[in-house]
Each structure stands twice: as structure tokens, then as C-alpha cells.
Structure 1
Amino acid sequence: MNRLLRGKCLAWLALLCLGCAPAAEVVDDTPPPTRVSTDFARLPELLEGITGSGQVVLYEGLPSPFWEPQLRDQELNSADTRLVQGHRVYDTPQDPSAADGPKLTEILSSSQSYAPLVSGSPKTCGEFNVEFCIEFTHGSKITQVLICLECGEVLLFGPAGELHCRLSPESLKLLPPLLKPYEQGEKGENPYSKN
């Protein structure tokens, strides 16, 4: 009887050890983004690429590596993504509605929507994580606005250069309700799946 119990315990221990294999590792081979200028004097020339004419599309960013690292890893394995200025976003572009496109353009083309980046200010979200990329195309010229609503930071990239700055308090109030309807990655079934 004692031998039988000892044998069962050893069998359970062996099963337990064999069943505890480490999870598959996700390797994010995304190269680190390059440093972006914080010279706020560059803002006017970058805003020239955000006008009412041309095409506007949105790309949703992946889950935060700071707050949701497992979900981000899962999305990197299962969703089609693209690299935008060193940051991963879902590959599926979304066209803003006829009402939202002009509102986004109005907000993001105004110099009042931005403020200089204050170095050393505390951040609540780790490193910059793109929640949305709004892309403005005029002919062959593209201006991209990468937004992190959580920390209020923004990266602007255009033909005239790049800028890392903050959203103004007013634009930080206006943008979330406009962008929230375009969040698709957290609604249960993944619309970005590689299937």
C-alpha cells in the first residue's frame, strides 16, 4: 500500500513537472525607434502637412507593453501589423467618418493643440506607446501623427522633419471621444487576426 501511494505521488510529480513547460516566447523584432527632436520651433512646418484636402486614415496601436504585455505578445503573434516610424500598429487602415475626418484635421492642424515636451516629467505609461496613428496624405507627401492618449504625448513625422511634443490639455479632452469608436483590438473577436 505504501509503495502504491509512493508510486502515485511520483507519477503526479512527474506529470506536474512535464506539464509546466515555459510558455512560447514572443520575440518582438521591432527595432527601437530613433530619437525624435523635441525642438518645438519645428511645429509650424510639420503642421503644413495636415490640411483639409487629401486623405486621412487611422491605424490603431497595439496594446501597451507596460500595462498589457501578454496581450501585446498575443497580438504580435496573431495579428497583421506594420511598423510606423519604429512603432507597431495594426496593419488595417480605418477611414474616419465624414464627420470625424474634418474634426481630426481641425484639431491636429492647430498649433494650439500642442505644447512643448517637458523633460523629466513623470509618465504613467512607461515608454511612448502609439494608441493611434493618424496619417494625412497630400499627393506624395505623408504626415503622420502618432498619439499616446494615456500620457498625452505625440510624435509628428512629415516631409519637413519630426517632433516629439505633448498634446495641449484642450486637445487631450477633444481627441479621446473622437478616437474611441476606432478602437477595434479589444472588442472580443480580433478583427486584425492573421486568419
Structure 2
Amino acid sequence: MASLRYQWTPFLLYGKKLESSKHTTVYSQGETGKGFYYLDKGSVKITLLSDNGHERTIDYVPTGGLFGEHGAYNGTYLTSAITTSPSVLHFFSDDALSRVCREHPHAAILFTNSQIFKVRLLAEIIAYQDSPVELQMANFLLKLTAVHGDEHVPIDQTSFARYIDTSRITVNKILQKWRQQGLIELAGRSTIRVVNVAGVRAILG
């Protein structure tokens, strides 16, 4: 959620700064975790590999956001994270997290809230995966808007198509319909802004 962005900034000195080039795999689904990350600059996409081998892009990490929380304390990474542009990350090991929470008790609440939000996101995505394409797109777009706030959501039509497992032509038709209905604004093919949240939510019924 947007309210969680930048809340971890005061604790960056506890982490290890990493600079990653574009298309760098930060962690892979199924790996045993060694910690989690904070996105300082750049962009990172989160993907989920289904049992049938289909990879779906399910989230885009906003700057100032945490990701990979499920890998803390030797947890298993439930998703994969890949940079989509040159990025600056901060890695927090289990020891670093323990130290932050010990010296700043409210940090444990921030971390837990972020972790809960990610688990709910995964659960809702799975719940909608057999729904009609338009419902899946509406649900996904609302979730991204909740994270990025009023900013344009950085998702292109190809990524949307991969998420829904449909063609880019189908995605484009639905986006153009929503634009004509005054639900969204399109900035080229790479960003979307929801201008009528209630209208998009109504699609879900």
C-alpha cells in the first residue's frame, strides 16, 4: 500500500547497498531466503511461476518499497524479483532485521504490515486467475494503484498480457474501452493512471 512507501528509509544504514544492472535476478522463486530488499532507485518486477510453468508478472515494486519479505529468517521466496532498469537496492540480512527491530521496535510493525500486504496480494491474484480477462485486469490494476498511489502505474501492455495469459491485442482493446469510459488515462504503452477507482472497482461486481 502507498502508506508503507519510504517508511523503511530511516533504517537504510543497517542494510547493504547494492547496484544492479537491468535484467538482474535479485532472487528466484523457491530459493531459501537470506533476507529482503528495499528499492532505492530504479525498477523491479515481481514474477510468479505457476505449477504448469507459466510465468506471470504480478507486481512492480515502487521506489521506497520493500520486497522479498517472505525470504526473511530462512523463509522460501514465493516469487522471483528482476530489475527492469539499472537499480539501487539495499539488502537486509536476518541479522540486520533483528538489529533494526531491537533498536527501533516500531520497525517490526512496518515490516509485518508490508509482509501481510504481499501475502494478501498473492492470495487475491490466485483467487482471480480463472476469472474473465477484464476482471483479472481490473483486480491487478487496482492492486498496483494501491501501491503506487496517484502516480502512473508502470506496466506495459505486454506485461499485462503475460499476467493474464492472453494476447496484447486483447489487453489493448480492454484498455482502450476503459479509456473511452473515462476510467483510466494512458501514457504511451508503458504507464496507466486510474482516474475513476470506483468505476474500475465496479467491474469486479
Q: TM-score, normalised by structure 1?
A: 0.27
> Which protein shows a greater Rg?
1
Higher helix proportion (structure 1 or 2): 2
Greater RCO, CA 8 A, separation 6+: 1
